[in-house]
Structure 1
């Protein structure tokens, strides 16, 4: 069914509607000159008049878009199709005349406040992913030598562009400006006689490289947020439980308050770091800086998680863990310095808190606030129950299973954070993006179809597998008794 809208339904109110209609009225004379020149086949005059329409569009588009987005989108489409017809080689005279007539009719009806048939322009908004799909289809047709089919798909791209351009402009004003020009240029190449397929494919490849980093935003969920706090919090609880259990075993009950005091100071320090980092990021994050900060924080988190992952893997058997705790505590008690116990507990909690803060700093720009709070709240509830059971009730925790599970989660987040962080830097324009349609695109794994994200992730995957294999071999050697050979 065709969608009919009047000049007012854009939701901008009476003042906005008047401003939008006035802006359209200012464009109308140049559009009429373009149409009149096309009727008389004076294509030089038509091109000159069309340039006047384009020059007048920049100050007019805001008012029209605010009053009636459907009319705005249709105007952009008609102008693009007119430009394509005028720039094709040879010039597409019939199409240029038809589009100039349509442009005048649309501007005239809208500026006079008449009902305007948008022909479906008010349909569900397109997405950046949808634009990329159109480009891939057009590119495939062009590579097969089917220029008319590729041009038809590009006209679909141009029709969908107005409802997706806002997301592109928000993410990258530079890409927004480039795509507006490139989409008409590539269509003109495809419609030329003979078609300029090489030029069209080159521009489409560039458009894909520009749009691909902007797609697939906001993929983190409450579950991802909970995983981080659960892992870090459970490790902190485990450290405290081990310290307190050792003191009970060594009949040092008075020393326990030093451990608890250190833990409290470490927690306070973690909260302070979180507040400082949150304030710093909120002051710096605007426009492209948001993606830049997200990318840098994510890469820092990747380095930290790799370090933590290796440490956890080295403690993934009970004997190694007990040996580690005993060594730390024996050193403290041997020195007779209870402040050392304080610092061990404080640094343990502070390290976990600082890591958690860094991880959330890398994740926060790409997760809804409600999801972040839900994940943190759920993880805290679980940690309170586990902490009471482990510390107060002396519940036994399977150390080896915990560390193996935590290591797997850490390596999953390493892989994903790496892809998301490079992707964020691509959006910020700090890293190039060479798109390849055959590469996988999986949001929950942080996989994007660009070589700049894919290659580093494959390298880190190889490193993770090597680490796991090396750890398994080391564990097998520890379990195998030494044998004397003759």
Structure 2
């Protein structure tokens, strides 16, 4: 199950990088005694993400079938928005995130000494990890609905575990990664995952009785590559493949990629020189 593994690896690595930057800067500036506050924020963020995920799953289980389909469509649409925002936010912020965090740490020590500094550091790590955690809740729910069984959750856990190991390796100085290339390649892959989720959301809206246009079958590969086959299952989990999609699903999938891929692959703007 490559999709949940890679997405959680990317989400976990984004959160880990923020925590690593904060911890490394504290250690480098002789403030290592404050690192414990970071872990308090991380634990609060993880607890919030688990609580929200469990709550949404509980609500989903209590809905009648038609409402469940509508709920799944809503979760998938939110997941698509989250994935797109995540990809483009990291593309824009990757080059300045270290400087922004370090300025925030210095400001916390300058303007909120003592107890205020602890809460400022807790808040910095909490919001960084909670953002990634809450994002993960929505697209994991969407992927789990399309890929039932234990494989997808186990793959997501594996992605988190790998990101923790990589984060520790980067913090200890024993590991170097080409993060720019990693986020570019993974971002490209995630856009295809988001396109599959979007077409699946349209299918769920139709099953919920909320969308009935463009339901003419685009093609039928059920005798060549059915959803239940091994390859069909893999493609469905990765890219939302369906052996008999409708014209609306194919058109929405293509339109989404036609807009997002050129925007993502365009050259990044040059950084402006900083004023003295």
TM class, shorter-chain normalised? 0.7 to 0.9
1:345 aligned residue: 125
TM-score by length of 2: 0.81
Q: Please give the residue correspondences for 1:36-55 in structure 2 after superposition, counting only pairs within 5 Å.
A: none
Tell me whether 1:423 sits opposite 2:219 in the alignment: no
Picking from 275, 283, 286, the partner of 2:54 is: 275
Tell me whether 1:456 sits opposite 2:234 in the alignment: no
Q: Which is higher, the Rg of structure 1 or of structure 2? A: 1
Picking from 179, 182, 201, the partner of 1:402 is: 182
Over 3 Å counting, the alpha-carbon distance change for 1:321 and 1:398 in structure 2 is farther
- In the aligned structure 1, how far is the partner of 2:13 from the partner of 2:205? 32
Picking from 2, 13, 17, the partner of 1:234 is: 13
1:178-232 alpha-carbon deviations (Å, 9 max, x no partner): xxxxxxxxxxxxxxxxxxxxxxxxxxxxxxxxxxxxxxxxxxxx22222222121
| Runs of 5+ consecutive residues of structure 1 not aligned to the other structure | 1-221, 482-486
2:229 aligned residue: none
Picking from 71, 79, 88, the partner of 1:310 is: 88
| Runs of 5+ consecutive residues of structure 2 not aligned to the other structure | 222-234
- In the aligned structure 1, how far is the partner of 2:172 from the partner of 2:137? 27
Q: Please give the residue correspondences for 1:282-301 in structure 2 after superposition, counting only pairs within 5 Å.
A: 282-284=61-63, 286-301=64-79
- In the aligned structure 2, how far is the partner of 1:348 from the partner of 1:320? 15
1:76-131 alpha-carbon deviations (Å, 9 max, x no partner): xxxxxxxxxxxxxxxxxxxxxxxxxxxxxxxxxxxxxxxxxxxxxxxxxxxxxxxx
8 Å CA contact 1:305, 1:411 repeated in 2: yes
- In the aligned structure 2, how far is the partner of 1:469 from the partner of 1:395? 28
1:244 aligned residue: 23
Picking from 252, 261, 269, the partner of 1:465 is: 261
Task: Report deviation, 1:420.
Answer: 1.1
- In the aligned structure 2, how far is the partner of 1:365 from the partner of 1:252? 45
Task: Report deviation, 1:346.
Answer: 0.7
TM-score by length of 1: 0.48
- In the aligned structure 2, how far is the partner of 1:440 from the partner of 1:254? 62
- Matched residues, number: 253
Task: Report deviation, 1:414.
Answer: 1.7
Q: Please give the residue correspondences for 1:57-456 in structure 2 after superposition, counting only pairs within 5 Å.
A: 222-284=1-63, 286-316=64-94, 319-336=95-112, 337-338=116-117, 339-393=119-173, 395-438=175-218, 443=236, 444-446=238-240, 449-456=245-252
